Structure formats: structure tokens, C-alpha cells
Structure 1
Amino acid sequence: MTSLTKADISKGATDADLFLLCLRRLGRVRELAGRSALPGAGGLRLPFRVFDQATAAVQTMRNAMEHVDGTAITGSGGFGYGVSGDRVSISYVGTTVDTHTLVTAARNLHVAVRTVVDPIAVLDPHGQDPIVPILVAPAPAPPAPA
């Protein structure tokens, strides 16, 4: 069995910190989409619920990682990491999250939001023609036969 070096452990903790931060930011996108009046947003209820359930502990963990000085002062506990196959578990104060589950929930949320947003994303908010076709130059005409 290979033992981990301090550098490996530090890199893993940094990766976990960044991962939780990204999930929290995606959670903010989810909150914004939930408050919006997007056409078709009703179809996002289930993906929102699944994401919220999967990421319930993320904000607490992210806060503890970001404010590690406060976590150390209060003595509220440290982080634990477990690796098994393609999964990493992150534990903090009796709560454990599985990275595979979190990635799946994030991916499903992303796809669901894009399904609702993409059809209207290229439209000008003032009702004008889509901007994308304006930016794409037409293909040149083939040369005339000699």
C-alpha cells in the first residue's frame, strides 16, 4: 500500500476546497434560476430538489474550509477524507458527502438549467433577432466556373 505524502494530502485538501467552492457557486446559480421567471422553469423543480438534497452540507463545509481559523478556535472539528475507487468522501463534524454523488447532482442540474435557458439565451432581451447569426459570417460562395 502506498502512503500519501504531506504534499499529496495538501493537494487533496485544496482540490476538495475548490470543489466545494464550485458547488456552492453552482448552488447560487440554482437559487437565481429558482427565483427567476424563466419560461419552462417549472420543469426544474425535481433537479433543484435533487441538487439541494445532495449538497445540503456543502455550504457548512465550504464555510469551515474558508474560515479555518474560526473552525480551529471553536474546536468544532476537522475534515476527514476517504478514497475508494472513483469516489472520495469528505467528512466534517459527523456529516459525510460523496464526490461522485455531488458531481452527478451538479451535472444533472447543469443539463436541466441549460435545457431551459439555451433556447432563449441567444435572443436579444429587447425582442430583436438572435445575436449569434449576426456574428457568424456566411460561408463564401464557390468560385464561378471558367
Structure 2
Amino acid sequence: MTAIDKIQALDHIERELILCLQSAGAALMELSKEKTSQKATETNVNQFLKSLNNVETKLSEQINYLTQVSTGQPHEGSGYASAKVLQMAWHRIQHVKSRIKDLEECKMRYIQTNRMQSNRVGQNPSSTTAGVMM
């Protein structure tokens, strides 16, 4: 039986359960009247019992099937956990790359600033020595 067949079987059980509840409600409505019709009450009660028996039988079949195919192990068909771990690792890599780029830019600015300062000091050695001699 395919997954679609199983879902359709569960859908049928759900519809049978709705019919069961409707029959029970109709029987109670009939009993709440001042003049009850015994035939209508019996019909609704019999329909309720028949539907309830069908629901019980079909649910038991589904439960038996599930106990046969269940291994007690977690479902391994989902790749969500692995995909999430991969996505988070990808985000960490992107963050590290971004930080490295920021640090490289900071390093380049620092080197440029030092070169400019050393060029200033190297260009004006006479003015600093002249100021000291005076």
C-alpha cells in the first residue's frame, strides 16, 4: 500500500467517525423531544453502533500496520537536520570571510597611514634638525 492509499484510508476513517458522531447527535436529539419516535431513535443508535464498529476496526488495522513497520528508530528519511547544519556552516564561513575582508581593509589603512607618516618624517629631516639646532 502506498502512502497515498494510507492517507485515503485515514480520510475514510475520519468521514466514518463524523458519521458516527452525527448519528449519536441525532439519537440524542430524538431522545430530547417530548414525543420521541422509538423507530427513529433505534435507527440512529444502530447507525451509531455500526459506524463506531467500522471506525474501531479500521483504526485497529492502521495501528497494526504501524506496529509492523515501526522499527523503534527515529525516522531517517528527513534531510532537514543535515540541511540546517550545512546552512549554518555556510553562514559561519561567509561571516569569517567578511571579517577577514574587514581586517584586510583595516590592515591596508594602517599600512597606508604608517607610510604617509614615515614619508612625512623622511621628507622633513632638515626642518626637524633645524628646529633642534636653533
Q: TM-score, normalised by structure 2?
A: 0.33
Greater strand share, structure number: 1
Q: Normalized against structure 1, the TM-score is what? A: 0.31
**Richer in helix (by share):** 2
Q: Which has the greater radius of gyration?
A: 2
